[in-house]
Amino acid sequence: MIRKSMILAVALATGFFVFNSYSQAEEMATPMVVDFTLQSVGDTPTKTFKLSENKGKHVVLHFLLKTTCPVCQRLTMSYYNELKDNDNVVQVFIKPDDPKVIEKWLGKMKDRPTIYHDPNAQLAAKYGVKDGFRFHGEVVHYPAFILLDENGKEVFRYVGKNNRDRFTYSDFAKKFPNLVK
């Protein structure tokens, strides 16, 4: 019992667990991601996002499902419309789909955000976003929201349990009012 208490105390002191209002402690099995670069899909010319070039700003990583999920579209547009003029927060909407599938998905949106491609969900895996979620006949990673601070350090994560279990913009605004204009 004492050993378990000591392990829990060390885990809490080192930030090994992340707590949020939606779930119990979520184990952080994520290795520190120092830097990464993503290419956009559907933009001419193609845009590039590099984490190290956004130092000094909060970065929101939106790991969207690999499908033409309409819930993803609504959530994406909600965040995009609310935060697009906020200079302190950079949003990175990420999909692992084939670029042609992403372009088709984007075709339904007007005044849309940039969508970045994560081939084979490699970045999602580096951040420890679980896969194994069955959706539209495919096994994909779970929808996830990860907030990085001004130095690229993860400060919050929410991983949904299904395609409708998302960290909405109103949840974000309540939890992080200092990041909302």
**Predicted structure pTM score:** 0.78
Quick check: is 84 in a domain? yes
Quick check: is 22 in a domain? no
* pLDDT classification of 12: cutoffs 50, 70, 90: very low
The average confidence (pLDDT) of the chain is 80
Quick check: is 14 in a domain? no
Structural domains counted in the chain: 1
pLDDT for position 131 = 82
Quick check: is 11 in a domain? no
pLDDT for position 108 = 66
pLDDT at 78 over 80: yes
Tens-place pLDDT, residues 26-69:
444 445 567 999 999 988 889 999 999 999 999 999 998 766 67
Quick check: is 151 in a domain? yes
pLDDT for position 11 = 40
In CATH, what number is assigned to the domain containing residue 101?
A: 3.40.30.10
Q: How far apart are CA 34 and CA 54, in angstroms?
A: 13
- The 3-class secondary structure across 141-160, one letter per residue, is ECCEEEEECCCCCEEEEEEC
Quick check: is 19 in a domain? no
Quick check: is 10 in a domain? no
pLDDT for position 74 = 85
Q: Which residues form the domain of 141?
A: 31-179
The two three-digit tokens of residue 15, written as one number: 């930030």
Q: Which has the closest alpha carbon to 157: 175, 181, 140?
A: 175
Quick check: is 21 in a domain? no
